[in-house]
Every structure is written in structure tokens, then in C-alpha cells.
Amino acid sequence: MTLESYVNSYLHPIGKGFFAEITLNRPKALNALSSEMFQELQKLLFSFKEREDIYFLFVHSSSTRSFGSGGDVKMVGQELFKNKESKAIEEFFKLEYKTDYLFQTYNKPIVAWGDGLLMGGGLGIFNGVSHRVVTPNTLLAMPEVAIGFFPDVGAGYFLNKKFQELGRFLGVTGARFGADDALDLDLADYKIEGMKKDEVFSKLLGETWDIGEKAVGEKLSGLLSQYALNRHENDKKYGQLLKCEDEIKVKLQSNDWKEVCENLLFWKNPGNAWIEESLAYFRKGSPLSWALSFRYLKEASTKSVKDVLLDDLNFAFQFCRGEDFREGVRALLLDKDQNPNWAFKAIDKIKEADLDPYFENIINRELMDDYFSSEDLLDQNHRHQAFQSKGSPQV
Ligand code: QUE
């Protein structure tokens, strides 16, 4: 392939068929995912879907530094300064969450090699696949509260899968975590040394895959398990989160966002360096984002992945109308002064009535539901129609 773009693909012939390699290749932006990249990913996933001669997909990054650092929120921030009703923003979030939905519901096994940064939008894609590989160098996070946003890309679904209080701790603080925590919380399936990638790849190329759809997934599981690093058999509390499971649960167990945020703010001397570090990330975030994120994650705990992604779309548009998201992107990613001027300076200034409007529906949910399930690549039927027509009643 001579033309290098942000998303590259290659069909590797094996036996009578192929496996499809997809490479995320925007290393200068640490693979921040743009609208064009989501469109390209959708195009590839749709074209491989119906082909019986494609056994499985392998998604990875051209750089060991990052599988994905997030969505291209720099673009979103820049657009927000021009026009809060920007069509480019509307299209971006529609494309992003539809791509997440496609990965979550794909009909073929997908191996994702999640080395380096695995944050925000990158984690959204990663979490949708059937075979999730992390390495000892993987650094995961849902860091959006730092930019006045919320844990999106299906986090209401995947952070709630196992140990809900621990998942919510990650979403509300933006804490960085590692491969072992990801395995503990069912956010990854295998931990393999990063430098084994070529060896694993060659192994996959040398195998027979003309064995039936179901057997392909099982065979992949077996092969990846052979390369996986063993966890200490007798030490279930291997990751950081499970080591502090009881303490975190006590702080996060309330249903009341204000109580939980205060528990975190006033958590003095936790006696654990990882918790200290996580609380430092938390304190830098937007108080309004803490409150909204906690309530959002809590309410998402019983929802399907599609409902969560449709909620994400609605919530993202609500955040675009507010002030903190634009301010957070400005302070951290555009001007880089690291000094956001948040709408609410403290959690005790926020009232339930400040949160309620964010939970009102402003999208045309039925149309967006259809859009998520359609293979309409050019999006002719859904272009710029995310919103309910002005003045229409809330559904
Ligand atoms: C919180 C975030 C993001 C972030 C930093 C945060 C995020 C994101 C990026 C990012 C990183 C590198 C880039 C880029 C964006 O940083 O979502 O364009 O080149 O995408 O503290 O949520």
C-alpha cells in the first residue's frame, strides 16, 4: 500500500480466505479519532461483514505509544468557539457512537491489540470487540471530566459491567489504570507482552481458519491465551482497584451524587499512592461533570448498549450547549494553560435543578436508532437530522 492514511487496511490471504488487518495510523495525534477515521472504519466493517471469505479482523495501531487517545475533541472545541450548533460536531458524535455500536454488535470475531494509550474514544472501540488484548504498557482511562465532558462511547455500559462502584470511580475521577485493572473489571480479555505482537500476528497467519464461524472465535481465544501472561494464581487482588475495593465501595455506594463527590473531595490520606493520584485527577475536573457523570453512570447501569450510545449522543449535545466542555478543551488541549474556569467552582454550588435539563431528550431518538442500525454510509437519510425539530414536545 503506497497511500498512507489515518486508517489503513490489508487482507492477508490464508488458505481459501483472508483475515483483515486494520491499522489506526495517526501517530502525531496519538490516534485521536476524527470523523474521517470513523467513516473509514465503518466503510471497512460494512464491506467485511457479508464476506464469508474473511474469517476475522485484527485492529491495532501503527504506534506502540497509543491505540487511541480519544475522539478528536480539539476539533470539537474549535468548532464550539465558532458555532455551538456546528454541523461538523453533530456529524462527529453521530459517527463516533455509531462506530462504537458497529464494533459492539459485529458479526465476526475482532482481535484488538490495545498497546499504549487506551482512553476515551479509543476505549470505546476497544471495548466493542470480542478479543481485547492489553499489554503491561497499556494505560487506560475515561478522562473526560478533565475537559468538562462525561464518560461517553458506551462507558455507561462497559464501566457498569462488573464492580459497578469501581467502574463509576474510574468514570467520575478520570483515573488512569492499567492492564490488570482492565482484566479485573472485564474491560480486557488478555494481557500479552507488547513485543509479542509480531509473533502473535505470524501465528495467526500460519493457522487454518476455514473451520466455521464459531470455531474461529474459540480458536482465537485459545491461541491468545497461550501468549497471555499469567496472573498470580493465589492473588486475586492483582490490580489497583481490587486492592482498594472495600474503601472505594464505601465512598461510592451512595445514590446521591453530592455525597459521593464530597466523599471523594474529603478523602484524606487514603494511604495508597494510586488512590492519591486518582483523586488528584478528580480534583482537576469540572464539578458539573462530576455530578452529571455520576448520575449518568448510575442511571445507565440497567440499559442496553444501544440505549447507552443513544443516550451518549443526547448527553454530548447537551454538553455542547453548556460552557464547561468548551472551556475544558480550551484550557487543556487548545491554549494549554491548564487552568479551566469552570461554571461551578464547587460541588455545593450545584443543585439537582442544574442537572435535570441535561437529562432531557433533544435528539430525534427514533431516527438516530435507525441511523445506528443502517448501513447508509453516505448518511443521505440522516444527515444533520439528529435533533427534534424546534419547539416539538419532548419524547
Ligand atoms: C481528557 C480527554 C481527552 C484528552 C485529554 C483529557 C480526549 C482527547 C485528547 C486528545 C489527545 C491528543 C490529541 C487530541 C486529543 O485528550 O478525549 O486531538 O492529539 O481526545 O484530559 O477526554
What is the structure's pLDDT at 2?
45
| C-alpha to C-alpha distances, 289 to 75, 76, 264, 356, 369, nearest whole angstrom | 20, 17, 14, 13, 26
List the residue whose alpha carbon is closest to atom 22 of ligand 1: 144
Q: What is the mean pLDDT of residues 306-328?
A: 98
pLDDT, position 74: 97
pLDDT, residue 390, reads: 53
- DSSP symbol at 333: I
- The finding on whether 279 has its CB within 6 A of some atom of ligand 1 is no
* Structural domain includes residue 12: yes
Reported as a single tens digit per residue, the pLDDT across 149-187 is: 999 999 999 999 999 999 999 999 999 999 999 999 999
117 in any annotated domain: yes
User: What is the whole-number distance in angstroms between the Cα of residue 53 and the centre of ligand 1?
Assistant: 37
> Distance from the CA of 125 to the center of ligand 1, in angstroms?
15
Kindly give the distance from the C-alpha atom of residue 210 to the centroid of ligand 1, in angstroms, as a whole number.
41
Question: d(Cα 94, Cα 108) in Å, to the nearest integer?
Answer: 23
By residue range, what is the domain housing residue 202?
3-373
Q: What is the pTM of this model?
A: 0.95
**Residues 93, 88: Cα–Cα separation, whole Å:** 9
Task: Tell me whether residue 394 is in a domain.
Answer: no
Percent of the residues in the chain that have a pLDDT greater than 70, as a whole number = 94
What CATH number should be reported for the domain holding residue 152? Answer: 3.90.226.10
**In DSSP terms, which residues pair with 70 in a beta bridge?**
32
Residue 382 lies in a domain: no
- Assigned domain for 30 exists: yes
Render pLDDT for 97-147 as a digit per residue (tens, 0 to 9).
Answer: 999 999 999 999 999 999 999 999 999 999 999 999 999 999 999 999 999
**Is 393 part of a structural domain of the chain?**
no
Which of 115, 146, 81, 110 shows the shortest CA–CA distance to 290? 146
Query: Which DSSP category does 394 fall into?
Result: P
Position 392 in a domain: no
The CB of 69 under 6 Å from ligand 1? The reply is yes
Give 32's strand partners.
Answer: 70
Q: What was the pLDDT predicted at 235?
A: 56
Pocket test residue of 24, 26, 74 for ligand 1, highest count of atoms within 8 A of CB: 74
Angle (CA) 268 272 273, round 5°: 100
Top pLDDT among 375 and 66 is at 66
Q: For residue range 190-242, what is the model confidence (pLDDT) as tens digits?
A: 999 999 999 999 999 999 999 998 999 999 999 999 999 977 555 566 789 99
Measured CA to CA, the distance from residue 111 to residue 195 in angstroms comes to 16
Cα(164)–Cα(273) distance, rounded to whole angstroms?
A: 22
Domain count, the chain: 1
321 vs 164: CA distance, rounded Å:
29
Binding site membership of 152 for ligand 1 (Cβ less than 6 Å): no
* pLDDT higher at 4 or 139: 139
| 285 Cβ closer than 6 Å to some ligand 1 atom | no
Residue 303, number of CB atoms within 10 A of its CB: 15
100 part of a folded domain? yes
Q: Which three cell numbers stand for residue 248?
A: 472505594
Query: How confident is the model over 345-395, as pLDDT tens digits?
Result: 999 999 999 999 999 999 999 999 999 999 876 555 566 678 776 544 443
Of 259, 274, 268, 283, nearest in space to 352 by CA: 259
CB of 96 closer than 6 angstroms to any ligand 1 atom: no
**Which DSSP letter does residue 380 get?**
T
